[in-house]
Amino acid sequence: MGIPADDVVLIQQGSGSNDPTVVTVNCPDKSGLGCDLCRIILEFGLHITRADFQTDGKWCYIVFWVVQCSNSLRLDWDSLKDRLLSVSPPCLIPLYYDHKLNGSTAAPSVYLLKFCCVGRKGLLHDITEVLTELEFTIQKLKVMTTPDEKVVDLFFITDGRSLSRELLHTKERRDNTCGYLCDVFKEYCINCELQLAGPECENQRTFSSLPLAVAEELFSCELSEKESCTQALRKATPPPKKAIVTVDNLLSPAHTLLQIQCFDQKGLFYDILRTSKDLNIQVAYVRFSSNINGYRDMDLFIRQTDGKKIVDPKLLADFCSRLKEEMLHPLRVIITNRGPDTELLVANPVELCGRGRPRVFYDVTLALKKLGICIFSAEIARHSTQDRQWEVYRFLLDENCDVPFASVQARNQIVGRIRRTLMGW
């Protein structure tokens, strides 16, 4: 019969403001479940400080200790529970199976939000903050500034709540969203419309046409434990700490043990489980320790899809190399020139299922707002390299600000600030 749905996900909030919240998930296992759960936690702006992960291939038991990365957004714990339930396999017999809460694989519908307003510093982040608070995910966007300093924002969004309860198709949800945006931005708001996007917008991704030299700098870099991805990153931020992965095939008769030590950062557990999921490596047990002097120690017991330990040296070497790359450089950030304009590029790997990393656009616009840099235009696109697909965020920066973009030092400071915001440093 299984266990009641109310007990599949349990959330116990800390007794004090500095105490972590404990999230427990106890349900049947499925491929990539840990990655899916971590992704949702990251979408809600939570940082995993500890984790225990156990599965026998049939049943999964996971405990997360989480804290809020920022108190600026209101966190709906009930909605978080619904979202975690939505990706957890059902525990009851089919008679009680609720397709709205579990097992639905249908992609949520894409809606087009047209928001016209008077431009000002930090506006794009403020709009993004409202959309994040309302649990919308920005799939694509086009932001344009007119000669008379008006801003036309086209957001292609999906409703995170629709994963557990379909809402955005209702007129009430759309009207409430537009009304809330108008109330928040008051005299800056000119017009706001929200409607179902056409099939061409829902089913197709815009692919970025980056200049060859820019693409090579952004994607084709050789990463090592001692060096950053690009010359720009080496100058912009301190060299990243080493990521050490030690393989032990003797301790367990059924699993390969990976002992990992790396520098802590936001989304670290998600990056590790995402990499395992994409490379079809099953994670059977994880112990994810607390932060000690900025470092994390992890034990991963892994196996192949056939249930056997991994003994192929090349497969192990490739997996360890990819893990190190994702732990050291889960995102790429550079500033370059697009003709006479200054362009900021931020890229992150896309999951094999097609989903990009959560909250990247939110964090980048937050960093630019704090730096006092206005955004002239912005877009989200995809770029394919030989071995993977990337999500690319492209920002044309407004030259009419106090930041001297021609200065190498100023550019490095911008890159460093954005990386620190993205990594939670």
Starting at the earlier edge strand, list the strands of the sheet with 9-12.
Answer: 9-12, 21-28, 59-68, 46-55, 282-288, 295-303, 256-263, 244-248
Per-residue model confidence as pLDDT tens digits over 237-272: 444 567 899 999 999 999 999 999 998 899 999 999
- Do 384 and 363 fall into the same domain? yes
Mean predicted confidence (pLDDT) in 180-202: 87
195 lies in a domain? no
Q: Which of 368-380 are b and which e, b meaning 16 or more Cβ less than 10 Å from the residue's Cβ?
A: bbebebbbbbbbb
177 lies in a domain? no
**Residue where one domain finishes, among candidates 305, 328, 351:** 328
- pLDDT of amino acid 3: 53
Chain mean pLDDT for the chain? 85
Instruction: Please indicate whether residue 70 or residue 25 has the higher confidence score (pLDDT).
Output: 25
- pLDDT of amino acid 424: 87
CA dihedral 266, 268, 270, 274 (to 10 degrees): 140
**Residue where one domain finishes, among candidates 45, 71, 87:** 87
**Residue where one domain finishes, among candidates 29, 60, 87:** 87
- Do 255 and 323 fall into the same domain? yes
168 lies in a domain? no
Q: Which domain holds residue 357?
A: 331-424
- Amino acid sitting at position 356: G
- Do 386 and 360 fall into the same domain? yes
* pLDDT at position 107 over 80: no
- Do 58 and 31 fall into the same domain? yes
Residue pair 405/396 in contact by the 8 Å Cβ criterion? no
Handedness of CA 4, 163, 267, 312 (dihedral sign): positive
Per-residue model confidence as pLDDT tens digits over 311-353: 999 999 999 999 999 998 899 999 999 888 899 999 999 999 8
Number of domains in the chain: 3
Percent of the chain with pLDDT over 70: 85
Instruction: For residue 144, give every residue at least 6 positions away whose Cβ sits within 8 Å of its Cβ, in sequence order, or none.
Output: 151, 152, 377
Mean predicted confidence (pLDDT) in 54-72: 88
- Do 340 and 400 fall into the same domain? yes
- Do 304 and 376 fall into the same domain? no
Tokens found for residue 65: 């200790």
* pLDDT at position 73 over 80: no
161 lies in a domain? no
404 lies in a domain? yes
105 lies in a domain? no
Instruction: Please indicate whether residue 404 or residue 71 has the higher confidence score (pLDDT).
Output: 404
- Do 418 and 336 fall into the same domain? yes
Per-residue model confidence as pLDDT tens digits over 91-103: 754 434 444 444 4
- pLDDT of amino acid 109: 83
| Domain at 370, CATH number | 3.30.70.260
